[in-house]
Amino acid sequence: MAKDNEKIIQQNMLKPDGLNPKVKYSIAAVLLALLLLGIWWLEQILPPSSIIFTVLKKGAIYSLIAVSLNLLNGFTGLFSLGQAGFMLIGAYTYAVLTIPPESRAAVYMYYDGGIIDFALPVPVAMLLAGCLAGLCGFLIGLPVLRLKSDYLAIATLGFAEIIRAIVQYDKLGPITNASNLLRSFPVFRSTLFPFIVAGLCIAVICLLINSSYGRAFKAIRDDEIAAEAMGINLFAHKEMALVTSAFFAGIGGALLAMFQMMVQARAFTSAMTYEILLIVVIGGIGSITGSIIASFLFIACSEWWLRFLDEVQIINGFQLPFMRSGFRMVVFSIIIMFVVLFYRKGIMGTKEFSIDGIYKFFRRLFTGEGKKPKEQKGGGAA
Amino acid sequence: MDNLSYYIQQLLTGVSVGGQYALIAIGYTMVYGILRLINFAHGDIFMAAGFFMVYASASLPLYISIPLVLLLTVILGVSVERIAYKPLRQAPRMSIMISAIGVSYLLQNFATYYTGGLPRSYPTIPFISEIITIGTVTTSWITLLTPVLTLALVIGLVALIKYTKMGMAMRAVSKDFETAQLMGIKINNIISITFIIGSFLAGVGSILFFTKYPTVLPTIGAMPGLKAFVAAVFGGIGSIPGAVVGAFVIGICENIIKAMGYTTFSDAFTFVLLILVLIVRPSGLFGEKSTEKV
Amino acid sequence: MKKLLALVAVLAMALAICTACGDDNKTGGNADNQQGSGNKTITIGIYEPASGENGPGGKQEVLGVKYAHSLQPTVEINGETYDIKLQEVDNQSDTTKAVSAAQNLVAANVSVVLGSYGSGVAIAGGPYFEQAQIPAIGISCTNPQVTEGNDYYFRVCFLDPFQGTVMANFAKDEMKAETAFVITQLGDDYSAGLGTYFKQAFEGLGGTVLEAQFQTGETDFNAILTNVLNSDADVIFAPSSIQTAPLLIQQARQMGITMPILAGDTWENESIITNAGQYATEVYLSTFFDENDTSNPAASEFVTGFKAWLNADPQNLTNNGGGDGVAAVSALAFDAYNVAIEAIKSANSTVGADIRNALPGVDYTGVTGSITFNETGDANKDMAYVKTIDVENGNFKFLKTQSVGE
């Protein structure tokens, strides 16, 4: 399998009919600029309360978190269910460090204003949020990464629960406000902010996946024993994947806290991890673009498109059956089960959505040539 | 109240909670033993059994509704296996686990939808919810009955597995899936039987649990489910006595922690225990050591 | 790099879809007049839990609003008649879900928001309403933090420092309690807040307070209750959600704890009596309103009308918990709706910011007494009704009114 990968990588390098990298970069730059411009323009013409911005913001944040989980589950083959714990650390680190001192008395009302009396600038706090989550990932990895598949899953899930309990411990109240809400920290108003931050983070993850480390991750996923025989240090690489994933989940958590304008530990349960896991599954385990598409779809459906299912609909005096509060989630979970059972690859499988791909698709479409052997089969490579 | 009866009271509560976990844990440990699958939906089957009882007892007398509830729970458990796990038998383990999570999500959401998300009150079963005073300790019959019933069911189950042909087949399947198949054991039947037993015990567990804590909620199954799983791991996955011992240990320890005032950590403790067991003795208390095959 | 391009392409596509849909969202917004009557509409948002631990309470508040709406379905603005449309969202008694519910209300272009039951969700949703400049009128969220520092949150009920003091006085004077055992829910602002204020007041009166906490979703209180039994507490104070109440009451009585159990306004819900059954003895709680209080003619008129309205529709009866008892929160919700109408009238506008500016000037005499707002946006109320559970009749029995003698 590792050998196959090698071949694919070579193929990708040669890329006989791919686009010239320079052209690709410029297309990317143009598209990126267009996207940001588009959001900026939307913010000008639509009222800020529009549901689109909710979907876009939350979708961008969930993309980052889903991609960070995919790095573990899809690319390294570590079935981790600890993402909610890392998000929690990120969200709390950010919130605790940025609440302005003048608001602390109100927020920490049960703890005499808490013991922290400074506020860090937003970028520093976000970075720290990621770092602390990464550090936790490192510490958790030490014992846990020896475990295999489902034991690993349940152990990481357990760690997330332990983290949640520690944060809620009332002796830590002066720092974490125990199990009470944290709020009044700086938040973002513009949709551009989560897009830029999440975009940058995902770009870094992509770079990592395409580096030699990324190839090692995939080798571990495909066959641990073979990878070890090839001289890959299993533990070091797994640890690295876990720390990276935790770091970005932490930043995602900080973004989520900003988006929600408040953060409370009890929300970060295993149900939250399951939700992200299901996004990854829908998008395709091992596909970054898949995770991103799935995040936006998932959020758009749950916040917006499927909302009508929750309301009693009356058409021509006839009340449609089933439609009442909660129906949306039933439809949703049936769709998810359908994907899991019959469409196991998800939207993208392990493939990626790329400019090259579109280019080839169109070329095939117009010239009827360029039949290439199945590309990028060996994993989310590319 | 003197100190002794204080400790007895706390211990009684712990044992009773442990008994309830034990009944759920058996379902986990049996399914894991045979399919190597953490059946995340098991806790939700337990929850569903609670709702079945709420609706059944609304129109039927108890002596009909209790067997009916157990039957419905078994049907639900087996159909979950048939619909969500059987098609994925050849798939990677991660897929089938995701499917289990999906089923759990579906059951919870459906229960939320069907019940309107409101807590429902569980019917009172006469006699066992009555109060009893022994010396200085006051408690309800259910607290005493739970561990006794649990132990009786477990002994019966162990006998079933040890001495019947079906039990032998189950052991064979859990030892080696493929060889068992080659030896003429009908794998699918054995798996169904496993789910029948697991769901039946979850149904009994739910009756005991909700008689004690008579509020049924769509999300109520998740935590007891996870704890029961940890109990199964602690005792050595695949081992029924192990799961029961593990469940009692967790139930009692959890109660001690709550009594000491560290409520925040009562759930977390379970997971600390899990991680310690996995690191120190991954095969659990009674589990057999397995070697990794290449 | 290719991934990056991929990302860009995907985001661009998502954006295209959103833009396409976004435009019609805008036109479907506020100024629509395709209602049957040909009138313009103004939307009032109902921000309540319909599920989760406080679902039953949320439903009772929605009933109060709906009844008020049935009496007064239109409002005059600038000489034009506007139909009032109610937009309901379910915040699921959960602070995280509440955020998305609040955003949905904001996106639906509501002019005023009513709710919520449960202070935690109100605190979580508050910043969104403030940011969107939509005034919110809290119905029974009693925690001070709901309105504090939020210019757009008002409320028509009393506050927890007051309620805590009332119950502390009650425990001390009526129950002759020396030691109180306070059991609160972790991470619930209502429960933690009320517990803290009770403790302060009770200790101020010279009593001793013991404390214990439980986690959200906890069903087993035996460990805590054993500690209660082993202490020298005379009374339990357990402000908590509707879901917790019957479990706690039942387990306490089964363990042989006979001391009185005190709680706050959330416990005035008939589902607690149904669920706790015969065990619900010696339970005392404070609340906002009593249906048998005939001193206020508006109140008795409301009670009669509301009961008739409830009985007319079995669905309403179910939402009310099965009986036709008038919950205090329904009465408060009725008042909150009318206060909102008053504010809309005096603002002469459908714009949230205008209505907000009109709210402090509102002086409305409702079924729960006269309502005026102080500068933080809290109603000036100084009377609580203490009730107990009457197990035999399965309802709440009024005991006394209590205000705080400074």
pLDDT tens for residues B93-110? 888 888 999 999 999 999
In a domain, B160, yes or no: yes
**Per-residue three-class SS string for A232-284:** CCHHHHHHHHHHHHHHHHHHHHHHHHHHHCEECHHHCCHHHHHHHHHHHHHHC
Q: Give the burial class of C173: count Cβ atoms within 10 A of its Cβ; 0-12 exposed, 13-18 middle, 19 or more buried.
A: exposed
The complex's ipTM?
0.87
C-beta atoms of A147 and B278 within 8 A = yes
Residue type at position B269: F
Do C270 and C325 have their domain in common?
no
Distance (Å, whole) CA A75 – CA A53: 31
A189 Cβ neighbours under 8 A, 6+ residues apart: A48
CA distances from A107 to A113, A163, A253, C37 (A): 7, 22, 20, 48
CA distances from B21 to B206, B208, B242, B259, B287 (A): 10, 11, 12, 19, 19
- pLDDT above 60 (res A15): no
In a domain, C6, yes or no: no
Do C272 and C343 have their domain in common?
no
- pLDDT above 80 (res A1): no
In a domain, B290, yes or no: no
C-beta atoms of B214 and C254 within 8 A = no
* Selected residue of A75, A162, A225 to mutate for chain B interface (largest B Cβ count, 10 A): A162
Query: Average pLDDT, whole number, for chain C?
Result: 85
Count of structural domains, chain A: 1
In a domain, C26, yes or no: no
Do C131 and C145 have their domain in common?
yes
Partner residue opposite A353 with nearest CB, options C10, C90, C100: C10
Tokens of A156: 């990481």
Using alpha carbons only, give the angle A282, A284, A287 rounded to the nearest 5 degrees: 135
A281 Cβ neighbours under 8 A, 6+ residues apart: A336, A339, A340, A346, B98
Count of structural domains, chain B: 1
Q: Which residues of C touch B251 (CB under 8 A)?
A: none
pLDDT of residue C154: 93
In a domain, A11, yes or no: no
In a domain, C232, yes or no: yes
- pLDDT above 90 (res A178): no
- pLDDT above 90 (res A189): no
A99 three-state secondary structure: coil
C-beta atoms of B109 and A153 within 8 A = no
Q: Does C107 touch chain A (CB under 8 A)?
A: yes
In a domain, B104, yes or no: yes
Percent of chain A scoring above 90 in pLDDT: 37
Do C218 and C345 have their domain in common?
no
Distance (Å, whole) CA C229 – CA C214: 17
Do C395 and C275 have their domain in common?
yes
C-beta atoms of A52 and C109 within 8 A = no
Q: Domain of B15? A: 3-279
- pLDDT above 50 (res A371): no
C-beta atoms of C2 and A289 within 8 A = no
Do C171 and C123 have their domain in common?
no
Give Rg (Cα) of chain C. Answer: 22
Instruction: Single out the residue of A263, A192, A184, A185 nearest to residue A48, CA to CA.
Output: A192
pLDDT tens-place string over residues B63-88: 899 999 999 999 999 999 999 999 98
How far from the centroid of its chain's Cα atoms is residue B293's Cα? 30
C85 three-state secondary structure: strand
**What is the DSSP pairing of strand C153-155 with strand C112-114?**
unpaired
Q: Which residues of A touch B96 (CB under 8 A)?
A: none
Distance (Å, whole) CA A117 – CA A99: 9
**pTM for this model (two decimals):** 0.86
Do C98 and C65 have their domain in common?
yes
In a domain, B149, yes or no: yes
pLDDT of residue C24: 37
Do C331 and C357 have their domain in common?
yes
Nearest CA in chain B to A274: B101
Residue C259 is given by DSSP the state S
C-beta atoms of C217 and B220 within 8 A = yes
Asked, as a colleague might, if the bond just before C116 is cis with ω within 30 of 0, I would say: yes
CA distances from A9 to A73, C268, C371 (A): 21, 68, 73
Count of structural domains, chain C: 2
- pLDDT above 60 (res A253): yes
In a domain, C329, yes or no: yes
In a domain, B285, yes or no: no
Do C123 and C265 have their domain in common?
no
Q: What is the CATH number of the domain that holds C229?
A: 3.40.50.2300
Task: Mark which residues 221-240 of A lie under 8 Å from B by CB.
Answer: 225
- Residue C42, strand partner residues: C84
Instruction: Single out the residue of B126, B99, B109 nearest to residue B37, CA to CA.
Output: B99
Q: Does C254 touch chain B (CB under 8 A)?
A: yes
C-beta atoms of C18 and A56 within 8 A = yes
Question: Please, which pLDDT band fits residue B238 given cuts at 50, 70 and 90?
Answer: confident
Give Rg (Cα) of chain A. Answer: 22
Partner residue opposite B268 with nearest CB, options A162, A285, A329: A162
pLDDT tens-place string over residues B195-210: 999 999 999 999 999 9
What are the DSSP E strand ranges found in A114-255? 182-183
Q: What is the CATH number of the domain that holds B248?
A: 1.10.3470
pLDDT of residue A122: 93
In a domain, A218, yes or no: yes
pLDDT of residue C7: 52
pLDDT of residue A360: 77
In a domain, C12, yes or no: no
Mean pLDDT of B217-241: 87
C-beta atoms of A50 and C124 within 8 A = no
C-beta atoms of C242 and B119 within 8 A = yes
Q: Does A170 touch chain C (CB under 8 A)?
A: yes
Q: Domain of C229? A: 161-287+385-402
Q: Which residues of C touch B129 (CB under 8 A)?
A: 254
A260 Cβ neighbours under 8 A, 6+ residues apart: C96, C99, C124
In a domain, B31, yes or no: yes
**What is the DSSP pairing of strand A182-183 with strand A262-263?**
antiparallel
pLDDT of residue B292: 46
CA dihedral for C137, C141, C143, C146, sign (positive or negative): negative
* Helix (H), strand (E) at residue A100: none
3-state helix, strand, coil in chain C (%, to 5): 45, 20, 35
Q: Which residues of A touch B227 (CB under 8 A)?
A: none
pLDDT of residue A374: 37
Do C257 and C395 have their domain in common?
yes
Q: Does C22 touch chain A (CB under 8 A)?
A: yes
B243 Cβ neighbours under 8 A, 6+ residues apart: B22, B25, B26, B28, B29, B228, B231, B232, B235
Task: Mark which residues 191-230 of C lie under 8 Å from A by CB.
Answer: 192, 196, 213, 216
User: Which pairs from C198-203 meet CB under 8 Å and 24+ separation?
Assistant: C198/C164, C198/C165, C198/C167, C198/C168, C198/C237, C198/C239, C199/C164, C200/C164, C201/C164, C201/C165, C201/C167, C201/C168, C201/C169, C202/C168, C202/C171, C202/C172, C202/C237
Q: Does A279 touch chain C (CB under 8 A)?
A: no
- pLDDT above 90 (res A373): no
In a domain, C28, yes or no: no
Question: Please, which pLDDT band fits residue A7 given cuts at 50, 70 and 90?
Answer: low
Ranges of chain C whose pLDDT falls below 50: 1, 13-35, 406
Q: Which residues of C touch A54 (CB under 8 A)?
A: 100, 103, 107
Nearest CA in chain A to C109: A49
A340 to chain B nearest CA, in Å?
A: 6
Neighbours of B19 (CB within 10 A): 28
In a domain, B292, yes or no: no
Q: Domain of A188? A: 50-270
C83 Cβ neighbours under 8 A, 6+ residues apart: C35, C37, C39, C40, C41, C42, C73, C74
CA distances from B161 to A59, B151, B155, B166 (A): 51, 15, 10, 7
A127-141, A239-253, C361-375: least confidently modelled range: C361-375
Q: Which residues of A touch C94 (CB under 8 A)?
A: 267
